[in-house]
């Protein structure tokens, strides 16, 4: 399988990365190089093989559903580019 210019633009949109025409053109070649490389996986017989979900056999740890942390609003917003009274500010979403 390979990608064309339109697919690169669509994937960039899905990934929320703005790409110029020039970048998209360059990426067509690069991504096809990588997709060509991974194409060799199609020669592996995976019939009846389970897809890996956990590399180390382990039971998911569980804990009580209690609040153990919190009241740190000021810490949480302190690294944000734009805030107001412990809220993150974003461009207007709803008209």
Partner 1 sequence: MSELTSLTIAEARTKLRAKEIKATELTEAYISAIEAANEKLNAYIKVTPEKALQMAEASDARLAGGKGGALEGIPLGIKDLFATEGIHTQACSHILDGFKPHYESTVTQNLWDDGAVMLGKLNMDEFAMGSSNETSYYGAVINPWRSGGSNQQLVPGGSSGGSAAAVAAHLCAGATATDTGGSIRQPAAFTGTVGIKPTYGRCSRWGTVAFASSLDQAGPIARDVRDAAILLRSMASVDSKDTTSVDLPVPDYEAALGQSLKGMKIGIPDEYRVDGMPEEIETLWQQGIAWLRDAGAEIVNISLPHTKYALPAYYIVAPAEASSNLARYDGVRYGLRVDGKDIVDMYEKTRAAGFGKEVKRRIMIGTYVLSAGYYDAYYIRAQKVRTLIKRDFELAFNAGIDAILTPATPSSAFGVADENLASDPVKMYLNDIFTVTVNMAGLPGIAVPAGLDHKGLPLGLQLIGKPFDEETLFKTAHVIEQAAGRFTPAKWW
Which residues are near partner 1 by CB under 8 A?
1, 3, 7-8, 11-19, 27, 30-31, 33-35, 37-42, 44, 46, 49-56, 58, 60-61, 63, 72, 75-76, 78-82, 88, 90-93
CA distance 41 to 18: 31
What are the angstrom distances between the C-alpha of 24 and each of 38, 39, 57? Answer: 21, 22, 41
Per-residue buried b or exposed e for 14-30, using 16+ beta carbons within 10 Å of the residue's own CB: eeeeebeeeebeebbee
């Amino acid at each position: 399988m390979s990608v064309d210019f339109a697919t690169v633009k669509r994937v960039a949109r899905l990934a929320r990365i703005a790409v110029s025409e020039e970048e998209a053109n360059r990426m067509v070649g690069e991504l096809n190089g990588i997709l060509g490389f991974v194409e060799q996986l199609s020669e592996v017989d995976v019939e009846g093989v389970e897809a890996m979900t956990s590399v180390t056999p382990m039971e998911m740890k569980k804990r009580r559903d209690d609040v153990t942390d919190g009241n740190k609003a000021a810490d949480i917003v302190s690294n944000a580019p734009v805030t107001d009274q412990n809220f993150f500010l974003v461009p207007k979403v709803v008209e």
